[in-house]
């Protein structure tokens, strides 16, 4: 799941939710676990579990809208979240982690 400078997160209708600025690996197996999404030109960045989206040709397609993304706490660093933050993110997006 490569990240390119042009990757974007879109909703099911194709509306842009934000630009993907980074991919955060799971520290245990180094597989991509979260994407970092910046909404708007000067918007905050937020983590989205890779398990919550589908990736295809420069787009990550989300089954949720901008309200769900905006309800996620912003991040300041592009690092793996703590165990409690990770659990909260998976719960927020309604997906189960692929491994613990």
For residue 1, the model assigns a pLDDT of: 52
For residue 97, the model assigns a pLDDT of: 82
Whether 69 is in a domain gets the answer yes
Whether 72 is in a domain gets the answer yes
User: In this structure, are residues 61 and 15 in contact, taking their beta carbons and an 8 Å threshold?
Assistant: no
For residue 41, the model assigns a pLDDT of: 75
Instruction: Say how many domains are in the chain.
Output: 1
CATH assignment of the domain containing 76: 3.90.50.10
Whether 1 is in a domain gets the answer no
For residue 4, the model assigns a pLDDT of: 53
Residue 67 to residue 15: CA distance in whole angstroms: 13
Residue 46 to residue 38: CA distance in whole angstroms: 7
For residue 5, the model assigns a pLDDT of: 55
The pLDDT tens digits along the chain (100 residues) read 555 557 999 999 999 999 999 999 999 999 999 999 998 777 899 999 999 999 988 899 999 999 999 999 999 899 999 999 999 999 999 999 876 5
Place of tokens 């909703």: 11
Whether 52 is in a domain gets the answer yes
For residue 30, the model assigns a pLDDT of: 94
Residue 52 to residue 97: CA distance in whole angstroms: 10
Q: Which residues constitute the domain of residue 84?
A: 8-93
Helix locations, the chain, DSSP H? 66-70, 83-93
Dihedral of alpha carbons 67, 68, 74, 79, sign? negative
């Amino acid at each position: 799941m490569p990240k390119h400078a042009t990757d974007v997160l879109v909703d099911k209708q194709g509306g842009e939710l934000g630009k993907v600025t980074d991919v955060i690996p799971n520290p245990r197996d180094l597989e991509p676990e979260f994407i970092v999404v910046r909404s708007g030109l000067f918007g905050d960045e937020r983590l989205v579990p890779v398990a919550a989206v589908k990736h295809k040709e420069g787009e990550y397609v989300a089954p949720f809208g901008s309200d769900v993304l905006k309800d996620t706490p912003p991040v300041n660093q592009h690092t793996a979240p703590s165990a409690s933050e990770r659990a909260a993110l998976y719960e927020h997006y309604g997906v189960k982690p692929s491994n613990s």
